[in-house]
Amino acid sequence: MRDRSSILPLDVRSVVFHGDGRRLVDGVSFRLPAGGLTVLLGPNGAGKSLTLRLCHGLLTPSEGQIAWAPGADGGTRRHAMVFQKPIMLRRSVEANVLHALAAAGVAGPERRERCRTALERFGLADRADQAARLLSGGEQQRLAIARAWALRPELLFLDEPTSQLDPAATRQIETLLTGLVAEGITVMMSTHDLGQARRLASRVLFLHRGRLVEDACATDFFAAPATSEARAFLAGDLIW
């Protein structure tokens, strides 16, 4: 039985998003239950980022519905998003986390405690006073995840979180994400990196030209993709 206070499952029903006179997201439907790491996979321009932004509420569907669990408070507080290029305030590492907590209405003493725990959890405690924008790309992405984690999300969206990072920093972020899933946080992330999808995904939503072409458990998707588009993508043949 589902936890009555949970915002999950998330129901995405026949969602369309128009832009530039095109259906950039074209009738996408899926249900996201609690748990696991779902990868939105697809070539450049497939609509992965748009789908994440629609789910997180940063964009409004032109058609269709995005619904949180019945009776749940679908407010943004229970889901957080981490972007491809982390947006850092021109302040210290610690102030970036404190600001996010303050914006979420977390009271002063708890704010400081949660900030301290988050910086420790993500290996940034010794950088607390440093200017966030002077961190390396990998460290900034770690801070972005720490900042999102401090909000105690039930669901975390990440848009290509490692696309700007080198292999070592990528591995670090992947390990962190696996840890978040083990903690019980539901993760949905986009990538066009097949290796990363193989390493991390429990489920794959494969998008092509704005359409959800395949929705499968990761093992099945990689062993026997059901569609010609997914087969071409896995073979390295599918471009926009």
Among positions 44, 90, 103, 182, the unique one binding ligand ATP when judged by CB under 6 A: 44
Stretch binding ligand ATP (CB under 6 A), from 26-34, 48-56, 62-70, 113-121:
48-56
- In our burial notation (b when 16+ CB lie closer than 10 A, e otherwise), range 173-197 reads bbebbeebbeeebbbbbbbbbeebb
Whether a cis peptide bond, with omega within 30° of 0, leads into 161 is no
**Closest approach of ligand ATP to the CB of residue 199, in Å:** 18
For position 12 contacting ligand ATP by CB under 6 A, the verdict is no
SS3 of 127, please? Answer: helix
For tokens 């105690």, name the residue. Answer: 152
**Cα(160)–Cα(138) distance, rounded to whole angstroms?**
13
**Closest approach of ligand ATP to the CB of residue 44, in Å:** 3
Q: What x-and-dash track marks residues 58-87 binding ligand ATP by CB under 6 A?
A: ------------------------------
Q: Which is nearer to ligand ATP, 44 or 175 (CB)?
A: 44
**Cα(156)–Cα(144) distance, rounded to whole angstroms?**
12
Among positions 7, 41, 42, 55, the unique one binding ligand ATP when judged by CB under 6 A: 42
Q: Which residue is nearest to ligand ATP (CB)?
A: 19
For position 48 contacting ligand ATP by CB under 6 A, the verdict is yes
Stretch binding ligand ATP (CB under 6 A), from 38-46, 96-104, 138-146, 224-232:
38-46
Structure tokens at 192: 């066009």
- In the chain, alpha helices (H): 48-56, 93-103, 108-121, 137-150, 167-183, 194-200, 218-223, 228-234
**Cα(213)–Cα(229) distance, rounded to whole angstroms?**
8
Residues that bind ligand ATP (CB under 6 A): 19-20, 24, 42, 44-50, 160, 190, 192
